[in-house]
Amino acid sequence: MSLSNEGQAIYVMWIRQLKHFGRARARIAASIVQPLFFLFILGSGFNQAMFPGLSGNYLIYLAPGIIGMAILFSSMFTGISVLWDKQFGFLQEVLVAPIKRLSIIIGFILGGATQALIQGSFILVLSFFLGVRVPSIGHFALTIVLMITIAFTAVGFGLILASKLNDFQAFPLIMNLIILPLFFLSSAFFPVENLPAPAGTLVLVNPLFYMVDGLRGSLTGMNFRFHPLVDLGVVLLVCIIMLTIGTYLFNKSEV
């Protein structure tokens, strides 16, 4: 088993994910329209509202959270792709090939993260037209690093769910049950500084808060709680944990 074979396997799994993504036009449209709906409807509807702890334009405040949403929900659907391949026997065929499972996992992860970054980048570019101004080149570079880290974190979590589930119809229900409450406590839609004590504690242990807070600090330079590098450190730690657990469970799962 040569290194070139492993690299080729990674590439094949990665490009296969991207081809499926390119053909799923309805999925692309839905995954872009949903963030745009939140960005324009919420951004326009609450643009004149006064939230305690909020400075500046609400639409600019909202944009980093919507970028995070686009990346998060898109990359986690990699788990559905894994379940689909389980259901229709593709994984069984791949796993009997003389390649390591790790190469298959890396291909899935890279494919899912690439899809998510494409969609997140679309919202990022749109936010510039809506008035978002990045403070500096360094802040923009940090924004890109955070987006990449968030994508890999979400793919890892999707892989964990896919390794423990066999019903791909239940996957989005469970994902939404876990993710939506965390997302509403992430400061994506409103400042969380004035929440009551129990909810405030949940915010500080919510990984999504550090993702959104980091994007907001690096992208807009306003309305952030921790320095973006601190947020990046937390998100990077969560990313390593998610990918490690997801890889381990995938290796141990029966296909």
Distance linking the first and last C-alpha atoms of the chain: 22
The average confidence (pLDDT) of the chain is 81
The span from the CA of 104 to the CA of 124, in Å, is: 30
The pLDDT value recorded for residue 255 is 55
pLDDT tens figures, 188-206: 888 877 777 777 778 888 9
Name every residue whose Cβ is closer than 8 Å to that of residue 222 and which is 6 or more positions away in sequence.
55, 56, 60, 61, 216
Name every residue whose Cβ is closer than 8 Å to that of residue 168 and which is 6 or more positions away in sequence.
80, 83, 84, 87
pLDDT tens figures, 124-157: 998 888 888 888 899 999 999 999 999 999 888 8
Highest mean pLDDT among 66-70, 81-85, 240-244, 246-250: 240-244
Which residue bears the tokens 């330079």? 221
The pLDDT value recorded for residue 2 is 53
What are the C-alpha distances in Å from 97 to residues 1, 23, 103, 253?
11, 26, 11, 17
> Can you give the C-alpha Rg of the chain in angstroms?
19
32: number of Cβ within 10 Å: 17
DSSP codes joined into one string, 30-93: HHHHHHHHIIIIIHHHTTT---TT--S-HHHHHHHHHHHHHHHHHHHTHHHHHHHHHHTTHHHH
222 burial (CB, 10 Å; 0-12 / 13-18 / 19+) is middle
pLDDT tens figures, 25-58: 776 777 777 777 777 777 766 766 666 667 778 8
